A and B are shown apart, each in its own frame.
Chain A
């Protein structure tokens, strides 16, 4: 029994010694010999285990970064939600650039400085002031049309009242010049508060719904031809000698973020052709028709002249024959 135990013990000791020697050999193996052994083991015995370990690592990372991924997804969603607003703002800025190109001179671009809060929804601070040439009563316009007028001009900023302000007035007319009146804010309640009304239109001047209303240029503050709004319908009033019309404004207050302030010299010289109003379209149509008529008249005259010349030649030939 004792000898068996001793034999086992000796064998175990020999095995341990062998294992220790092998371990030390592996430990002190040069790199070039160690690498092939390890590579072989990794590609055979260890391959499934390494794959498992890799998957587990990936799972842990996915779990650890789940909040970041959710945050990133939320950010992307938020950004995509604001894309529409950005596109709208882009389009608006492009329109503003187009307006600037059409105006060419005599204007100052300005940004509406802060969001309008309670009690100041009818005024807007602008980033351009007297140093940039802005003066009191300078018209404030946007690509869509008239926004308001400058109330006070400080050196570096100015404050304008919008068309929705109760004190705002502008002399206006139908785009074809058939009727004139004074446009002011419609002091109704609810959504109608943000409409305009055109007062003092003579009874004989009927304006159908859909007619474009532009500034008339009377009074000197606003040049002629800036779109103000579109007629929605006639309002019933107690006035017998004049009509009042309800207008949909050309510029929505919520869409105003950047504007142009017209300098006095530009306002004096007019803005004809800057906004494509119905009047302009009508004039263009008339010009095209007239041009067509001119061409027709010219060609008719040319053909008449040709005929006359041909007749003269044939007459001359006829008189020359008998002399022979």
Chain B
């Protein structure tokens, strides 16, 4: 990745992290968008899978510090999702809105599945309800916000011409 592209990606990443800690609590929705997952996915498709996994681990640890009961669960989910997103970038992330939305949706749902299973806080019917009802809804919302973010940040995220 060229330095200019790296700087642009970094700007988009910072903006999304800031949105996660400002816009998300401001909205206060039960199924709010997960800007951290969007940020991770946007970076992951531009770096190697290993780097994406390390970034996911770092983001997960930082995010888990706020919720002590889930310390480590978010890190595990983030590094797996980051690695998978980077590995699958050739398949997804064509310049197609539907595929991009599906990419965000899958990333968020996968994150929730790994997080909830690793966290081991809920189980039984409640876990199923979380995995099959709330997580998909949250993933859809995240996908929609991810698309919006892509549209807004398109000038920044577009690769520079050589």
Residues in chain A within 8 A of chain B (CB atoms): 8, 11-16, 19-20, 22-29, 34-35, 37-39, 41-42, 45-46, 49-50, 52-53, 55-57, 59-60, 64
Task: Indicate if the CB atoms of B54 and A15 lie closer than 8 Å.
Answer: yes
Residues from chain B with a CB closer than 8 A to the CB of A38 are: 64-65, 68, 71
- B75 closest partner in A (C-beta): A23
Distance in angstroms between the alpha carbons of A46 and B24 in the assembled complex: 16
Task: Indicate if the CB atoms of B62 and A41 lie closer than 8 Å.
Answer: yes
Interface string of B84-96 (1 = CB under 8 A from A): 0001000000000
Residues from chain B with a CB closer than 8 A to the CB of A16 are: 49-50, 53, 79-80, 83
Residues from chain B with a CB closer than 8 A to the CB of A64 are: 28
Please tell me the size bucket of the interface on B: 35 or more
Task: Indicate if the CB atoms of B64 and A19 lie closer than 8 Å.
Answer: no
Task: Indicate if the CB atoms of A24 and B76 lie closer than 8 Å.
Answer: yes
Task: Indicate if the CB atoms of B66 and A60 lie closer than 8 Å.
Answer: no
Q: Write the nearest CB–CB distance from B43 to chain A, whole angstroms.
A: 15
Residues from chain A with a CB closer than 8 A to the CB of B61 are: 26, 41
Q: Given known contacts A46-B66, A60-B26, what 12 new A-B pairs fall within 8 Å (CB)?
A: A12-B48, A14-B50, A15-B54, A23-B57, A23-B60, A26-B61, A26-B64, A27-B73, A27-B118, A29-B72, A34-B68, A49-B18
A-B Cβ contacts below 8 A, count:
106
Distance in angstroms between the alpha carbons of A24 and B74 in the assembled complex: 10
- A41 closest partner in B (C-beta): B65
- A34 closest partner in B (C-beta): B71
Task: Indicate if the CB atoms of B65 and A19 lie closer than 8 Å.
Answer: no
Task: Indicate if the CB atoms of B50 and A15 lie closer than 8 Å.
Answer: yes
29 contacts between A and B (CB under 8 A): A8-B50, A12-B50, A12-B53, A14-B50, A15-B49, A15-B53, A16-B53, A16-B83, A19-B53, A19-B79, A23-B76, A23-B79, A25-B72, A29-B71, A34-B72, A38-B65, A38-B68, A42-B65, A46-B66, A53-B25, A55-B22, A56-B21, A56-B22, A56-B23, A56-B25, A57-B25, A57-B28, A60-B25, A64-B28
Task: Indicate if the CB atoms of A46 and B65 lie closer than 8 Å.
Answer: yes
B141 on interface, CB distance cutoff 8 Å: no
- A31 closest partner in B (C-beta): B68
B42 on interface, CB distance cutoff 8 Å: no
- A15 closest partner in B (C-beta): B50
Residues from chain A with a CB closer than 8 A to the CB of B65 are: 37-39, 41-42, 46
Interface residues of B in 77-117 (CB under 8 A from A): 79-80, 83, 87
Task: Indicate if the CB atoms of A27 and B18 lie closer than 8 Å.
Answer: no
B40 on interface, CB distance cutoff 8 Å: no
Residues from chain B with a CB closer than 8 A to the CB of A37 are: 65, 71
Distance in angstroms between the alpha carbons of A218 and B28 in the assembled complex: 80
Distance in angstroms between the alpha carbons of A12 and B73 in the assembled complex: 21
Distance in angstroms between the alpha carbons of A14 and B65 in the assembled complex: 25
Q: Write the nearest CB–CB distance from B54 to chain A, whole angstroms.
A: 6
Q: B26's contact among A28, A29, A34, A59, by CB below 8 Å, is which?
A: A59
Task: Indicate if the CB atoms of A20 and B76 lie closer than 8 Å.
Answer: yes
Distance in angstroms between the alpha carbons of A64 and B27 in the assembled complex: 10
B17 on interface, CB distance cutoff 8 Å: yes
B6 on interface, CB distance cutoff 8 Å: no
Residues from chain A with a CB closer than 8 A to the CB of B18 are: 49, 52
Distance in angstroms between the alpha carbons of A23 and B81 in the assembled complex: 13
Residues from chain A with a CB closer than 8 A to the CB of B76 are: 20, 23-24, 27
Distance in angstroms between the alpha carbons of A29 and B3 in the assembled complex: 38
